[in-house]
Structure 1
Amino acid sequence: MAEIIDFEAPDFLKNQTENEIHTEMLADMAEQNPNRDMTEGSVFWDLTRPTAKEKARMVGFTLTEAIKNMFPMWSYGANLDWKATIRGMNRKAALFATGTVTVTGKAGTVIPSGFIFNTESTYGKSSVLFKTTETAVIPGTGTGQTVDIHIEAYSAGAIGNVAAGTITMLNTSLKGIASVINASKTKGGSDRESDDSLIQRILDFDQQQGISFVGSDADYKRWALEVTGVGGAEVIPATAGSETVTLVLTDSNGQPGSSDLCTQVYNHIMSPNDRSSRLAGTNDILSVIAAKSLTITINVTVITEDSRGINDIKNDLYTALLSYYKTAAAQNVARINEIGGILIDIKGVADYSGLTLNGSAANVTISTDEIPVTALTDITVVT
């Protein structure tokens, strides 16, 4: 994987602050005309100061940003998209989460396609909307009958991945419906690819130019990451007995890849319907599977320093772990000290003690085909 380094302005753009530029201008004039008044407030001082200010802005921002956008490593936004396009690459779009709701009500009630259900809004968090993707009719006779309906998040992105039992409301009333609930969590929603992720793919692509694609581990990983929704891919090489390369997938949210995502990756690499578009070698055998979830339970005692409640602290820890676990999976270990560092940085936490992972004050080893997961119910925080 290509290394990304921080941008450092070239020497010719350094020492170009407004004061430094203006001092140099005044010194040049003093050398040419020693008798001219150049004190602050003089005509010459007032006339040259705006020029120094504009030059400083041009050097410190405009030229600096122009140089950064010349190179993929420091480019961003639309300029980065263009750099991807000329390499035959595209920024991966956001995906819509999908799932199923169970609607209870009067037999014969029609729920039209596009009807909206939603989660309940809470303080500081808006409700998440979902629309039905098909027209459904509650079967049977009488009341209290149920029907399962496929739904899709109204807005693309990870925001559509909600927990089981949270879609409980109708966005608009519909006579005949008594209740609605999602028995399972919604899955598959992912945010639009970030600049950092696209930069990494571009740099890896550039470094591999001129290299023959022979189906190496790096090739398989790169091919998998080209599929929208894939966040990570680990390669288990073929053995003499199996002769099958196995790809272990996580989605862009760090969760096990869905069966649909595994199929998309397999089709992208193997192209079963058009062998001329096949990326893998002629005789390669490929298996694409979802990573296994490795549940990590967390118990800790905290000392709070403000009025923040335990639930707020738990929610912040849960959110931070989603990001950290991507790094932990890549390193094949979840380190208790690093989780402790995350905890102490949470607003409202003054100190903590008794931190354990899966009941032990030790690191947790993560296998290649595993990803660590921690649900809110797996976190116990007490004061």
Structure 2
Amino acid sequence: MFEGMGYNEVIEHIRSQTFEEIMDRMLARLPADLDKREQGVMYNALAPAAVELAQSYIWLESSFDLVFADSALGEFLEKRALEAGIERQPATKAVWQGEFNIQVPVGSRFYAEPLYFVALANNQLQCEAAGEAGNANMKGRELQPLDTIPGLTQAEIGDRLYPGREEEDDPSLRQRYLVRVRREAVSGNKAHYKQWAEELDGVGRAKVFPLWAGEGTVKIVLTDAQMQPATTELLKQVKDYIDPVPGTGEGQAPIGATLTVESAVWSSIKIEADVTPVTGATMADCQREIAQEVEKLFRQIAFEENVVRLSQINNIIYNANTVLDYTNVRINGKPDSLELAEEQIPQLGEVVLHEQI
């Protein structure tokens, strides 16, 4: 049926198969002496079949989207990625350091509203809820033991060691699939090191610096899953996975490669502008909305772009629902874009707004 037709021609043909088109063809096949008028006996007899056929063509068009990686969604994308040996990364659980006066038994459970934790080795605590729920600021919170632990007099939450991450979304899975099938990450090249680092739980993005300290050296700079500087524990996890014994090829890295893993560093950024709030909004409302959108932008561009563009900040303020008018936008005191160092990620220091006179 589709022989000799290109993809776009096939799709256009499928889209043309409407109820009216199908009914016209069905009625044309009837003898001329039969009543073919709308609402006639023959028309009403054929209409249900035409509706079902038209619906089938709609489903057929959708099936084309589901079988190609650039348009597949959900489970269909997972099946396509699995053909290349790639699985969707599941949601992970945040791990915190517990502060106890004794070594608590592994498996002990604790509660700090609204989250439950289970003890791991070395008094570490894993949040029982997967995803970003366990990333809330819990440091210093008192823990209530759900089990009887003799001698326990101190129980509170310390530093967060590994952030939790939500289940991988479709765009991320699609991108990893395309990298694999296009063979962009092979034979220990730059993309391969990036892939190795980012496939570990707790890692957000990685930037690779080949030959950074001479022949055979590679440096990876990381963010955690929250696009924040990585902890010492996370850096060690990545190092042990890729290159546990430098140069020996014991991990993922090839023989002769010596890997250094470091954390990204913050670049604190101050945003200023003169604004006029819309009627009913306050300057605090404007500050809150702009700050939320700027933080979202910074997470998006972390290790993807080395520049915080003035146009991006202008666009955020322009689209803010609480802002009527604005002028004099500045980044760190200057009306210019801000270039970041290679190992820096942007952090919002503050948003300072002045009311236009």
TM over 0.5, yes or no?
A: yes
The farther-off stretch of 29-38 and 252-261 is 29-38
The farther-off stretch of 337-346 and 163-172 is 163-172
The residue that corresponds to 1:194 in the other structure is 169
Counterpart CA distance in 2 for 1:152 and 1:329 is 28
Could you tell me which amino acid in structure 1 is paired with residue 46 of structure 2? T
Counterpart CA distance in 2 for 1:34 and 1:302 is 74
The farther-off stretch of 33-42 and 215-224 is 33-42
Counterpart CA distance in 1 for 2:140 and 2:352 is 21
The residue that corresponds to 2:225 in the other structure is 252
The residue that corresponds to 1:279 in the other structure is 252
Question: Equivalent residue of 2:67, what SS?
Answer: coil
Post-superposition Cα deviations, 1:128-160, rounded to whole Å, max 9, x if no partner, equal 52536379xxxxxxxxxxxxx855434222233
Residues 262/186 of structure 1: CA separation in 2 closer, same or farther (3 Å cut): closer
Question: Equivalent residue of 2:252, what SS?
Answer: coil
Counterpart CA distance in 1 for 2:128 and 2:138 is 17
The farther-off stretch of 234-243 and 194-203 is 234-243
Alignment of 1:155-304 (within 5 A): 155-163=129-137, 188-208=163-183, 213=187, 215-239=188-212, 241=214, 243-272=216-245, 278-304=251-277
The farther-off stretch of 355-364 and 309-318 is 309-318
Residues 95/59 of structure 1: CA separation in 2 closer, same or farther (3 Å cut): same
Superposition TM-score, scaled by structure 1 size: 0.73
Deviation at 1:324, TM superposition (A): 2.2
Counterpart CA distance in 2 for 1:339 and 1:99 is 34
The residue that corresponds to 1:379 in the other structure is 351
Is 1:359 the counterpart of 2:345? The answer is no
Superposition TM-score, scaled by structure 2 size: 0.78
Residues 24/352 of structure 1: CA separation in 2 closer, same or farther (3 Å cut): same
- Determine which of 59, 67, 90 is the counterpart of 1:70: 67
The residue that corresponds to 1:55 in the other structure is 53
Deviation at 1:225, TM superposition (A): 2.1
Post-superposition Cα deviations, 1:49-70, rounded to whole Å, max 9, x if no partner, equal 333332333222x223322232
Deviation at 1:304, TM superposition (A): 3.1
The residue that corresponds to 2:127 in the other structure is 153
Question: How many residues were matched structurally?
Answer: 343
Residues 170/240 of structure 1: CA separation in 2 closer, same or farther (3 Å cut): closer
Could you tell me which amino acid in structure 1 is paired with residue 347 of structure 2? V
Is 1:330 the counterpart of 2:304? The answer is yes
Could you tell me which amino acid in structure 2 is paired with residue 57 of structure 1? Q
The residue that corresponds to 2:84 in the other structure is 87
Counterpart CA distance in 2 for 1:233 and 1:200 is 15
Could you tell me which amino acid in structure 1 is paired with residue 109 of structure 2? G
Is 1:320 the counterpart of 2:293? The answer is yes
Unpaired segments of 5 or more residues in structure 1? Answer: 1-7, 119-127, 136-148, 173-178
The farther-off stretch of 235-244 and 219-228 is 235-244
Counterpart CA distance in 2 for 1:40 and 1:232 is 62
Counterpart CA distance in 1 for 2:64 and 2:92 is 33
- Determine which of 11, 21, 24 is the counterpart of 1:23: 21
The residue that corresponds to 2:149 in the other structure is none
Could you tell me which amino acid in structure 1 is paired with residue 352 of structure 2? T
